[in-house]
Structure 1
Amino acid sequence: MKKILASVGIGNASVDTVLPSTTVSPGETVTAEVRVSGGDAAQSVSAIDLEVETRYRTEEGVEDATVGRMRLGEAFEIEPDEETTYDAEITIPWETPLTLGSTEVWVETELEIDMAVDPEDVDYLDVRPTPRMQAVFDAAEELGLSLRTAECSADPYGRYAGERRFVQEFEFRPSGGEFRGDLDELELVFVASAASLDVFVEVDRRGGILSEALDADERHTQFSLTDDDPDVASVRDRLREEIRANL
């Protein structure tokens, strides 16, 4: 009877992933403990899966997306009330979005149990910018640009990174500075790797109704950062140059 109840989630085994810190950055590797507790009956666990997940907006609504996945250990038996701990290293993928605005990122841990409801554990992360990303944010602020929104959206045509299903768009508006009155908004998309940060820039100029309807007020450009700890003044000058060239 206990096995039957466990198969529908009553008295099932459980899992709990313990992270030393929930504050991470893309590209970082963090250690974790995965604690498995037996339920009321012996059960066979075929695998432990850990996934880094988020959500993004589409024309139809909102979809969940798996940004990264790893499988831990081999199949094992978990006895009633048994406690087992596994060490894991979780690499935060470079394409993981930052948790700005309403963006959420979490690690989902799942026990794959044959012929039973799979127990899960969810741990939400605070994803902070890498030094290259932070330099771009600081540079925009020095130019009088304020971050208004940060949203993950579908990229069905792979405009930025090939097969990626979505990108995170950062929208800035001038709150002062030299571009106030000329610039409507600035949109940035980051494509990060260990070697560089590619910054895709969309400059929306202030235009009339006709130019906005035809998207004639939008210009696109891009630049890359390769220094591990970029100088904000240099990034500011580069960003200023790209904006001026496209106004």
Structure 2
Amino acid sequence: MKKVLASTGIGNATVDTVLPATTVTPGETVEASVQITGGTAEQVVEEVRLALETRAKTADGYTDVGIARFTLAESVTIEPETDERYPADIDIPYQTLVTLGSTRVWIETELNIDLAVDPEDTDHLEVEPTPRLRAVFDALEELGFSFRAADCEYDPYGRYTDGRQFVQEFEFRPQSGSFVGNADEVELVARTDAKGLTVFVEVYKRSGMLSELAETDEWVTRTTTENTDVTTISERLRSLIEERV
């Protein structure tokens, strides 16, 4: 009877992932610990899985999407009322989204138990920008732009990434400086790896109604940086934006 109840979630095993800190940066490795506590009956866990997830905006609302997935252990027998601990090195991929605006990122740990309710644990993360991306944000601030919003958008064609079907957009608006009155908004999409940062820049400028209807009031280009020199990045962004406005 205990096994029957456990299969419905009553007296089931539980899982808890313990992180040394919840603030991370893409590219780093987090040393975590996964604790599984047995329930009232012996259970066989087919897989102990960890997934780094976020949510993407679609035409029908938001949907959860996976950034990365890991299998920590397989075919584990959990005895009743016992504790099992498993160390886990969780690599935070460079393409992990930054938790700005409405963007959320979390680690979900799941025990895959055949013919039973799968126990889960969710740990939300604060993901900070990489030094290169932070330098881009600082450069835009130098140019008089202020951060407005960030969101994860569904991108079925993988336009800005290598096949991944979602992308994070950062929106900035001019608050001071020479772009006030000339540019409505600048949107950024960042593609990061260990070698550098590619930033796709979309500029929306003030224009007449006919231009807006013809979709000629926006323009996309890209720039790449391998350093964190704010002045150099600022000059490059200024040149790109001035080409449009």
The TM-score range, normalised by the shorter chain, is over 0.9
Q: Extract unaligned runs of 5+ from structure 1.
A: none
Matches within 5 A, 1:5-24: 5-24=5-24
Paired-residue identity, %? 55
> For residue 242 of structure 1, what is the aligned residue in structure 2?
240
> For residue 83 of structure 1, what is the aligned residue in structure 2?
83
> For residue 71 of structure 1, what is the aligned residue in structure 2?
71
Residues in 1 aligned to 2:7 and 2:198: alpha-carbon distance in whole angstroms: 48
Contact 2:16 2:36 (8 Å CA) reproduced: yes
What is the TM-score when the length of structure 1 is the normalising length?
0.97
Residues in 2 aligned to 1:123 and 1:156: alpha-carbon distance in whole angstroms: 27
SS at match of 1:103: coil
Residues in 1 aligned to 2:76 and 2:179: alpha-carbon distance in whole angstroms: 62
CA apart distance, 1:209: 1.2
Matches within 5 A, 1:190-201: 190-201=190-201
Which of 211, 229, 241 lines up with 1:231 in the alignment? 229
SS at match of 2:4: helix
Instruction: Tell me the amino acid that sits aligned with residue 93 of structure 2.
Output: P
Residues in 1 aligned to 2:28 and 2:74: alpha-carbon distance in whole angstroms: 25
User: How many residues are paired up?
Assistant: 245
Q: Does residue 164 of structure 1 match 2:150?
A: no
Residues in 1 aligned to 2:153 and 2:65: alpha-carbon distance in whole angstroms: 11
Residues in 1 aligned to 2:188 and 2:118: alpha-carbon distance in whole angstroms: 39
Q: Does residue 148 of structure 1 match 2:148?
A: yes
Residues 212-237 of structure 1 deviation map (CA, whole Å, 9 limit, x = unaligned): 1211111111001112xx11111111
Residues in 2 aligned to 1:134 and 1:166: alpha-carbon distance in whole angstroms: 21
Contact 2:49 2:73 (8 Å CA) reproduced: no
Q: Does residue 209 of structure 1 match 2:213?
A: no
Residues 150-180 of structure 1 deviation map (CA, whole Å, 9 limit, x = unaligned): 0111112221113111110111100111110
What is the TM-score when the length of structure 2 is the normalising length?
0.98
SS at match of 1:49: strand
> For residue 28 of structure 2, what is the aligned residue in structure 1?
28
- Bigger shift: 7-16 or 203-212? 203-212
Q: Extract unaligned runs of 5+ from structure 2.
A: none
SS at match of 1:224: strand
SS at match of 1:73: strand
